[in-house]
Structure 1
Amino acid sequence: MAAVAARPAAGTGLTREQRLELLALLEEKAYRKARRKMLGMFPESGKHARMLYPKHMQFFEAGAAYRERCFMAGNRIGKTEGGAYETTCHLTGRYPDWWTGRRFDKPVKFWAAGKTNETTRDIVQAKLLGEITHASGRKGVTGTGMIPGEDIGSITWKQGVPDMVDTVKIKHASGGWSKLGFKSYQQGRGSFEGTEQDGVWLDEEPPIDIYGECLIRTATTGGLIYITFTPLEGMSETVMAFLPNGLPDAKDAVASKVSASKYLVMAGWNDVPHLDEKTKTELLEATPPYLREARSKGYPVLGSGRIFPVDEEAIKVQSFTIPDSWPRICALDFGWDHPSAMVWIAWDRDNDIIYVYDCLRVRETTPKDQAPLIISRADWIPVAWPHDGLNTEKGSGEQLAELYRKEGVNMLWERAQYAETGTEDGAKVSRSSVEAGLMDMLTRMQTGKWKVFAHLHDWFQEFRLYHRKDGKIVKLKDDLMSASRYGTMMLRYAATPPVPTTRIDPSRRKYDWRVG
């Protein structure tokens, strides 16, 4: 019987055998592409061209000059992808031609870490190595993560955590093997002690003690440490290490130098091309209001815990010469290890508007040191002070407020408190109630009756950071806010300048109290 010739499949011009061979080739191509993901990242052109990701490029480039970097960004903008990509470049030595960041020309030792063992495994490990396989009774990885599959060498597995890698060897382009270890903050600071590292990638915000330990591990090698996270924990110590003013100096800034070794990049939904307007709208609607700035812009969460949820631009005004008819008061918050703070307030009585026109913070100074700073602004301005002023000084046995009086400071004769006991929901409110003072300030801010001179950067820094956690005021960088509250409570004692009023000759006195 004659053999039947293979017939082309209808409409394709290919035989069945040819179609199977083509399918096998396409599957092999897809498999190889999946195992070389890094080679397709940040291309020259197309809808995901690297020029459309300026924040990522800035983050990579800063590695050449700064040991510590932070990519503080909103959700879904690709910050973890960026961290995985850079880590892969260092481990493999496969730097793209356009790379302007730090380069290692030999195998390196790196750590990659996340919050818990499970998130490290499911996010960080998966981004770098791909999914876990259990073929032929042996555990392995697919190599479909950022690190090319053919560069993945021997793996050791972490005891007690299913499918979590402990260490893995990665082939370096120069020859030899890099070593990558996976860790989690859950393991505690002690697990980050010991060996020197060329670099550490921390995905999600680390506790400050773990960050410090990682910094020590890279100190002797001159290595890198970089964090990628959305700041959902509020103004933590780690956030404040990179964002001491609470917000970037310019909200539209691409990135900023924090110190000689630190660099911050902030990014939001509008900084990447892969999120269209429909997606951004849907994401925003699904996000609680107090988390929206964090998830969409990468701004730290203060949200529902923020004490003054007011746009600072609404209370900010340019400085001007204050009329002599406006009463003034100074308010003092005592401090030593945390700063003593002074705030000067002018009161437009006709319109009932408070203007904060000057402020000062000084650390570890005595009443004798501070008195000239207060008096130089104008010795006639009355000074409000809190209940701490009734405490006696150990050496002399005198009250703290009295020590200022002896130095010529015009201290009021009663501590900061309202004139009368108020009521709230039928209950009495103390004359010195903190909450009553804060509500007074907030109401004024919301109704246009509280203004602050725009150049008072220290005041606005505290204003941005002032928040609650678990319902309690966070006593961290709140000195000027406390002083502002004392001044508000004692506004009834604000005074106008004595007569006759004459402008002070600038050549004889450095500070002109009329200008502020």
Structure 2
Amino acid sequence: MSRYVVQAGWDDVPHLSEQAKADLEASYLPHEREARRLGMPGLGEGAIYPIAEKEVVCDPFPVPEYFAKAYGLDVGWKKTAAIWGAWERETDIIYCYSEHYRGQAEPSVHASAIKARGDWMPGIIDTAARGRSQIDGKRLWDLYVQEGLDLHKANKAVEAGILEVYQRLSTGRLKFFSTLQHTIAEYLLYHRNEKGLIVKEDDHLMDALRYLCMGIKIAKTKPIPRQRISSGIADSTAGY
């Protein structure tokens, strides 16, 4: 038996006048309008961050040196994810500009990828997440610290973290570079089930994003290398 899917929105309906379309658009919430107008499927009320993709994604640009940087890190064997944010303190906008998304690799592999983006940057991690025991979490923490990462413990208040991310997204203070394909994919799928519980599937970067936003104040700018200044003294004994 063959099956067909027909995707159509009100732009495809010839009998609707422009005024009728405008009235329909006004009857929906902002994040629902594009899906209704174009006939695109969406998560509807289940979406945790019900803000259109075009509102939160921006074109990449060279990040200025004075922006403070940090990353959120969610670790696990099936998938380890990290997201880097550049924080413009004056406007309080966080630009997420890079991501790491890989499964089934040792901490040393992930640590190498993280340090390649700047080993001076602080990271925010919750090693006790994903159902790990306290002992396993401590071991993971130690392993990553031994790899030379500057780590800080994440604020684990889930709902408070989601609210912080949502407030930033809705006020234009959190943006994703369009190159962050895994992050954007998770963002669009991140939702609650019919009981109001977060669906814990393919949400590693969303967890890392929450850690980053809750702990952004630890972000710092790239250290300026110290220049060795010559004293101009050829003979340190004689003084000239």
Identity of aligned residues (%): 36
Give the corresponding residue for 2:61. 320
Closer, same or farther: CA 301–315 of 1 in aligned 2, 3 Å: closer
Q: Tell whether 2:201 aligns with 1:476.
A: yes
Q: Residues 494 and 285 of structure 1: is their aligned pair in 2 closer, same or farther, counting only changes over 3 Å?
A: closer
- 1:334 has 2:75 as partner: yes
Could you tell me which of 117, 120, 130 is aligned with 1:380? Answer: 120
Distance 1:283 1:317 in 2: 29
Shift of 1:398: 5.3
Deviates more, 1:490-499 or 1:356-365: 490-499
Q: Write the distance in 2 (CA, Å) between the matches of 1:501 and 1:344.
A: 26
Unmatched 5+ stretches in structure 2: 228-240
Change (3 A) 1:283 1:323: closer
Q: Does 1:493 align with 2:234?
A: no
In the alignment, which of 402, 406, 411 is matched to residue 146 of structure 2? 406
* Alpha carbons of structure 1 residues 293 and 312: separation in structure 2 relative to 1, 3 Å: closer
Deviation for aligned residue 1:497: 1.3
1:416: which partner in 2? 154
For residues 376 and 277 of structure 1, what CA distance do their matches in structure 2 show? 55
Paired with 1:291 and 1:228, the residues of 2 have a C-alpha distance of 20
**Mapping of 1:164-313 within 5 angstroms?**
200-201=1-2, 226-228=3-5, 266-273=7-14, 275-277=15-17, 281=21, 284=24, 289=29, 296-313=37-54
Determine if contact 2:186/2:205 at 8 Å carries over to the other structure.
yes
Amino acid at match of 1:388: A
Render the CA deviation track for 1:407-463: whole Å, top value 9, x for unaligned: 222222xx201xxxxxxxxxxxxxx32111111111111112112212212211111
Maintained 8 Å contact 1:269/1:280? no
- Counterpart amino acid of residue 160 in structure 2: A
Distance 1:349 1:282 in 2: 39
Measure the CA separation in 2 of the matches of 1:375 and 1:278: 54
How far has the Cα of 1:355 moved from its partner?
Answer: 1.0
Aligned-partner SS, 1:411: strand
Counterparts in 2 of 1:437 and 1:286: CA distance versus 1, 3 Å: closer
| Aligned partners of 1:307 and 1:468 also within 8 Å | yes
**Residue from 147, 158, 168 that aligns with 1:444:** 168
For 1:501 and 1:327, the matched residues in 2 are separated by 19
Secondary structure of residue in 2 paired with 1:380: coil
Displacement after TM superposition at 1:267 (Å):
3.0
Equivalenced residues, count: 222
Q: Normalising to structure 2: TM-score of the pair?
A: 0.80
**Per-residue CA distance 1:333-370 (angstroms, 9 max, x = gap):** 11222x21110011111111111011121011120221
Distance in 2 between residues matched to 1:318 and 1:359, nearest whole Å: 15
Deviation at 1:473, TM superposition (A): 1.3
1:457 aligns with 2:181: yes
Cα distance in 1 for residues equivalent to 2:19 and 2:64: 52
Provide the alpha-carbon RMSD of the alignment. Answer: 2.9
Change (3 A) 1:288 1:319: closer
Taking the aligned partners of 1:348 and 1:458, their CA distance within structure 2 comes to 23
Q: Does the residue aligned with 1:452 lie in a helix, a strand or coil?
A: strand
Aligned partner of 2:135 among 385, 388, 392: 392
Summarize the alignment of residues 338-357 of structure 1 with structure 2, pairs less than 5 Å apart. 339-357=79-97
Alignment CA distance shift 1:278-1:500 (3 Å): closer
Larger Rg: 1
8 Å contact from structure 2 (residues 69, 84) kept in 1:
yes
Distance 2:56 2:89 in 1: 18
Structure 1 gaps of 5+ residues are 1-199, 202-225, 230-265, 418-431, 503-516
Q: 1:283, CA displacement in angstroms?
A: 9.5
Distance in structure 2 (CA, Å) of the matches to 1:270 and 1:285: 11
TM-score, normalised on structure 1?
0.39
Per-residue Cα deviation, 1:28-63 (whole angstroms, up to 9, x for no partner): xxxxxxxxxxxxxxxxxxxxxxxxxxxxxxxxxxxx
Tell me the distance in 1 between the aligned counterparts of 2:104 and 2:33.
Answer: 39
Q: Deviations over 1:152-181 (max 9, x none)?
A: xxxxxxxxxxxxxxxxxxxxxxxxxxxxxx
